[in-house]
Amino acid sequence: MGQLDVNSLSKFWDDFTAVDNVSFTVKSGEFVALLGPSGCGKSTTLRMIAGLEMPDNGELFLNGLPITQMSPGQRGLTMVFQSYALFPHLTVQENILFGLQVRKVHREERQRRLKFAVELVDLGEHLHKKPSQLSGGQCQRVALARSIVSEAPLCLMDEPLSNLDAKLRGQMRTELRALQKKLGMTVLYVTHDQTEAMSMADTIILMNSGRIEQTGRPEQLYNQPETTFVAEFIGSPPMNLIDHGKTLTGIRPEHIHISSDSIPPSVHHTVTVVSCDYLGADTVVQVRLDNHFLLVRVPGHQPLASGRTLSISWKKQNELTFCSSRSQRIAPVQNLTFNNNHKAKEPENAA
């Protein structure tokens, strides 16, 4: 499997910067999610890596070899798209083997890889069906099997599960991650869904307006967001941000308790209930604190009437502090380590 190095990649559409000086590494056997809101440049980055768009700046290396000037076919990558890109007139088996036939891989070798991939993705009963006779999840498995048989060093995936319903998406997430681990595949996976990135990825690269906001393990982005953008994008419901003028206090909804008797040192406030959303395992309560609206996640069913006054508290140690003007975290940084070459910006007054 392969290591991908992306160095200072940029793409401009006339005077619009779609991708702005992006650098990262995907290590061999790693599952990296390229995450961000619609239009932030994820697909453009992936398409440049695949060779479907030419970068205006920057270089790409696969296993140390420069691939920037190579055609898509020469790069030896495989791609799984949101649309699956299956040939409707070919059977499942023909779709899976299409790339190997084009590359004139020997018949016995083709059959060996087909058997292996089909067993992994459990498509044995469907080999002679056409894509129109399959469910969305089965089509997705065909696209995956096609990637697996290619034995390419790097697999690029662009929102591959977004056409599936919520239940199947959850199931395919688990299957895909298990398969990636089992085969040691190197995967770069584009998604706008933070839950998908959090649950599947070894490393998340969070993009915003063409740039990388933060790179790190899911728990690093959740617990130690470097900017208010990361704090609000990662986590559902998002982190609360309380404006104090020059600084903002960040506090996660699950760190706020409805009661006044938390263990000191803690922060206490009196708030008014605005609304309650019961989600099954827990309830998200929106409360008003002066001019701010905060979200509080409490376990179980908590039917709190709107207008009711409550005491809330949280531990001081769970607060994060951000600079209002630059949106950067300014609280001391503890145990920050990154497992690729994107350098985290050190907050100005970090301890």
Q: Is 4 helix (H, G, I), strand (E, B) or coil?
A: strand
Tell me the H-state helices in 156-193: 166-183
Question: CB-wise, 36 or 347, nearer to ligand ATP?
Answer: 36
Residues in the chain, overall count: 351
Question: CB-wise, 214 or 283, nearer to ligand ATP?
Answer: 214
| Shortest spacing between CB 70 and ligand ATP, in angstroms | 21
Q: What whole-number distance in Å separates Cα of residue 143 and Cα of residue 58?
A: 30
Q: Which two tokens stand for residue 294?
A: 């905060």
Contact of 230 with 60, CB cutoff 8 Å? no
Question: CB-wise, 230 or 276, nearer to ligand ATP?
Answer: 230
- Of 36, 55, 76, 153, the residue at the interface with ligand ATP (CB under 6 A) is 36
Instruction: Please tell me the count of residues contacting ligand ATP according to CB under 6 A.
Output: 11
Question: CB-wise, 23 or 95, nearer to ligand ATP?
Answer: 23
Question: CB-wise, 15 or 348, nearer to ligand ATP?
Answer: 15
Q: Is 240 among the residues that bind ligand ATP (CB under 6 A)?
A: no
Question: CB-wise, 38 or 309, nearer to ligand ATP?
Answer: 38
Question: CB-wise, 38 or 337, nearer to ligand ATP?
Answer: 38
Q: Is 74 helix (H, G, I), strand (E, B) or coil?
A: helix
x/- map, 186-225, ligand ATP, by CB under 6 A: ------x---------------------------------
Q: Which of 110, 178, 117 is nearest to 145 (CA)?
A: 117
Q: What whole-number distance in Å separates Cα of residue 42 and Cα of residue 46?
A: 6
- Of 25, 43, 186, 220, the residue at the interface with ligand ATP (CB under 6 A) is 43
Q: Is 156 among the residues that bind ligand ATP (CB under 6 A)?
A: no
| Shortest spacing between CB 143 and ligand ATP, in angstroms | 18
Q: Is 18 among the residues that bind ligand ATP (CB under 6 A)?
A: yes
- Of 38, 132, 325, 337, the residue at the interface with ligand ATP (CB under 6 A) is 38
Question: CB-wise, 49 or 145, nearer to ligand ATP?
Answer: 49
Q: For the chain, first and last CA: distance in Å?
A: 40
CA 232 to chain centre: 14
Only segment of 41-49, 59-67, 144-152, 178-186 that touches ligand ATP (CB under 6 A) = 41-49
Q: Is 75 helix (H, G, I), strand (E, B) or coil?
A: helix
Q: Is the dihedral of CA 243, 244, 247, 253 positive or negative?
A: negative
**Matching residue, tokens 């200072």:** 8
Contact of 227 with 211, CB cutoff 8 Å? no
CA angle 1, 145, 122 (to 5 degrees): 120
Q: What whole-number distance in Å separates Cα of residue 33 and Cα of residue 231?
A: 17
List 242's β-bridge partners, or say none: 249
Q: Is 73 among the residues that bind ligand ATP (CB under 6 A)?
A: no
Q: Which two tokens stand for residue 242?
A: 């309380």
Q: Is 41 among the residues that bind ligand ATP (CB under 6 A)?
A: yes
- Of 4, 6, 26, 40, the residue at the interface with ligand ATP (CB under 6 A) is 40
Q: Is 252 among the residues that bind ligand ATP (CB under 6 A)?
A: no
Q: Which residues bind ligand ATP (CB under 6 A)?
A: 13, 18, 36, 38-44, 192
